[in-house]
Amino acid sequence: MAKNKSVAPVVKWVGGKRQLLDEITPMLPKRITSYCEPFLGGGAVLFSVQPSKAIVNDLNSDLITVYRVIRDDVESLIESLKKHENTSEYFYAIRDLDRDKAGYQALSQVEKASRTIYLNKTCFNGLFRVNSSGEFNSPFGHYKNPNIVNEPVLRAVNKYFNTKNIEFYNEDFAETLDRVGKGGFVYLDPPYDPVSDTASFTGYSKGGFDRDEQIRLKRCCDELSKRNVKFLLSNSATEFIKDLYQDYKVVIVKAKRAINSDATKRGAIEEVLVRNYGIE
């Protein structure tokens, strides 16, 4: 089945996997009948594989709202996106809508999805980040011509979601993994173990993802193996992660990371790809 090249990420996400697809793709099982991704984010791997059957999840409810609206009402979303303005004053007014909890909940699903995409396209570095109260807190990006309304991609993703069996969830990753049947394949892209005390990419949802969560995820991977479910996991190549997954096949790859307040620290860093199966 030919893949549609227009089916691509609609948001830029911290730790997005577009730049690692060349390393990830050869490690995927040759045949994937059932796909699962519990930390969906921007969905680069999902949109590259384009499986016919998939279970996808993200703890960020705003992100899952975006995907559901693209599936259910993409034309209304496109019309809403066309109304946004690329000015600092307008940006902060839209960003601050979630400070009024009752007012934010009163927004329609289309309005919420439109706000998330708009902020993602116009905020600094496309960094979706929330504070401890779950409020979006990235600053205005001052981009001259951000691509707020990417109609071809939005419509292509809408068609993909509606012609294939894609289930969306907004829950804890362990609950999503329990949904995977024997013979399924799981791609795991959790928030990464920080490579230093100051590096942390866990602000994409309220709550964070610490080492206790990394250990809990590894135990879930052990359970997947017992259930004959294949998994491929991405993470940073810290000693903690390499030690945690030492019983599995671990490959170190170089990934370019652009998100760092210090431009001199942007560049290639080591990441791991961990799997519980052999390459056919």
Q: Mean pLDDT in each 10-residue stretch from start to end of the chain (280 residues)?
A: 90 84 95 96 96 96 97 98 98 95 94 97 88 89 96 98 98 98 96 74 61 97 97 97 98 74 62 92
Could you tell me where the DSSP H helices lie in 82-150?
88-95, 101-105, 109-122
Parse the chain into domains and list their residue ranges.
Answer: 18-60+164-275, 66-151
CATH no. for 66-151: 1.10.1020.10
**Rounded CA gap, 266 and 238, in Å?**
17
Instruction: Note whether 116 and 62 are within 8 A (CB).
Output: yes
CATH no. for 18-60+164-275: 3.40.50.150
**Rounded CA gap, 169 and 157, in Å?**
17
pLDDT value of residue 201: 47
pLDDT value of residue 195: 85
Residue located via tokens 């706000």: 115
pLDDT value of residue 132: 80
pLDDT value of residue 84: 98
pTM exceeding the 0.95 threshold for the entire prediction: no
